[in-house]
Structure formats: structure tokens, C-alpha cells
Amino acid sequence: MPTPTASTLLHDPWFLIAATLAVVLLGLAKGGLSGLGALATPILAQVVSPVTAAAILLPILIVQDVVSVWSFRHSWDRWIVGWMLPGALIGIALGWAFAAILPVVAVMAALGIITTGFGLWRLWIERGGRQVAASRSPGWVGTIFGMATGFTSQIAHAGGPPFQMWVTPRRLPHQTYVGTSSVLFAIVNWAKVPAYVALGAFGGATLSVAAALLPLAIGSTLLGVWIIRRMDPRRFYVLVYLLMVALGCKLLVDALGHTGGG
């Protein structure tokens, strides 16, 4: 199958619909609606190959990171980033090393099951506005979740759920939560660039398409920031858990559908 050119993609209505939805979801996620971003690659992969989809979205993610980090630069948790980042870098290296033989469908199915279960569990124990003590798990646990974050981010830009599983129960102020996510994933996304270059994923068409989508990427990120800054902090974590359940179900359905289709 020939590699599509930038002109071909940008004149394909189905690609434009999928790309618009993917980029807007990424922007809202970067603005603070955590979890939505992991849907972007599966959506874009409906119209181009998964490798092309991931390569188009990585430069967009990096630009969105700039907007997000700047917006929340005064509110992020250095302790969490310090513990998760080393694990995340190891996870990225593992994702790169096993890219050729990795059963991505199986990984996404497992991630979908775990994410759905975790979200439902948290919704249950916090039902009716119950106040649950914030988690105080040690930093080394964060390093393990950081490895899962880097690994799933490298293979499908789906590092959000492992991050959420460790950080969300810590009950940070919601803007600190968003800022911490922004800083960690800004570093993670830059760390993924050498792997994508080595895999030959950044062709001229890929970068041209990404550049054309940048205005939408920046605008949707700013919209996400605007929403989060006006959101009731008490509702923020309920929304995060609901998004986790929806995302987990989507990942699982996609994985099962791919398996069923051979």
C-alpha cells in the first residue's frame, strides 16, 4: 500500500473528520480533561495506519504540551514527577525495544480492563460524595506506574491511564493535578522523539499534516484550560473517573474488534 502524501490526506474528508476529532480530544486532554487524549490514536488509526497516526500526533502533542505547561507552570507536584519520570523513561525504552514484536492489541485490551475496573472502583468507594482518605503510597510505587505510563505512551500515546491510577487517588488540588500531568507528559513526549526518528516514522508528509493541524491543536488546548479553570473542583475527580471508565471500555472494544477481525 503506497504511503499517502500530505495533499492526499488533507483532501480526504474522512481523514479530516478523524484528525479533527483526534486533535480536539488531545487538546481538551492537555487542557485538563485527563483521559480523553488516549482516544486520539485509535480514532486516527481508523483512516491511516497506526504507525502513521502516532507519528502525525506526536508533533501535535509536543506543541500542545507547551501551551499546557505554560498555563499550569505555577501548579505542579515536583515530588510526583521526580518519582514517575525515571520509570517513564525506562518504559519508553522498553516500548521502543519491543516495537516490532509487541502484541499491541493485547496490551490495549489489558489496559482497557484495568482502566475500566479502576474507574468503577473509585466511583463506587467515593459514591454520594464520600470523603476517601488520600493515597500516600510511596514514591517507588510511582516509578512502577511511571514505567507503565512510558510504555503505553510509546506504543500508542496512551500513557494517561497508568498516570491516573497512581496520581488520582492522591487527591491533589485539581489544577495541581493537571499541571503535574502536563509537565510529566511534556518530558515524556520529547523523550519519545528519538525512537520515532529511529523507526523512520517522521516523513515529510507526516510533518506537513501535523503542521496543518497545529492551529486546531493550540485552540483546543486553550479551550481545555478555560474549562478546567472554571470547573467545580469537587466534580473534577468524578469526571476523571467517568472518563477512565469510558476510555477503558473503548480500548477494550477496539482490541476485541481487532482480534475478532483477524
Region 47-51: mean pLDDT is: 79
CA atoms within 13 A on the CB side of 45: 18
Residue 145 pLDDT exceeds 70: yes
pTM given for the model: 0.80
User: Do residues 224 and 31 lie in contact, with contact meaning Cβ atoms separated by under 8 Å?
Assistant: yes
Highest-scoring range by mean pLDDT, 82-91, 104-113, 188-197, 227-236:
82-91
Would you place residue 72 in the very low, low, confident or very high pLDDT band (cuts 50, 70, 90)?
Answer: very high
Mean pLDDT, rounded, for 160-164: 85
Q: Please give the pLDDT value at position 2.
A: 54
Are the beta carbons of 178 and 37 closer than 8 angstroms?
A: no
CA angle 121, 123, 125 (to 5 degrees): 70
User: Are the C-beta atoms of residues 215 and 223 closer than 8 Å to each other?
Assistant: no
Core vs surface per residue 44-70: b (16+ CB within 10 A) or e: bbebbebebbbbbbbbbbbbbbebbbe
Closest CA to 149 of 141, 138, 161, 140: 161
The mean pLDDT value of the chain amounts to: 84
Task: Calculate the alpha carbon distances from 80 to 140, 145, 196 in Å.
Answer: 10, 11, 26
Q: Which residue has the higher pLDDT, 127 or 221?
A: 221
User: Which pLDDT value is given to residue 1?
Assistant: 44
Cβ 87 vs Cβ 154: under 8 Å: no
Give mean pLDDT, residues 128-148.
Answer: 84
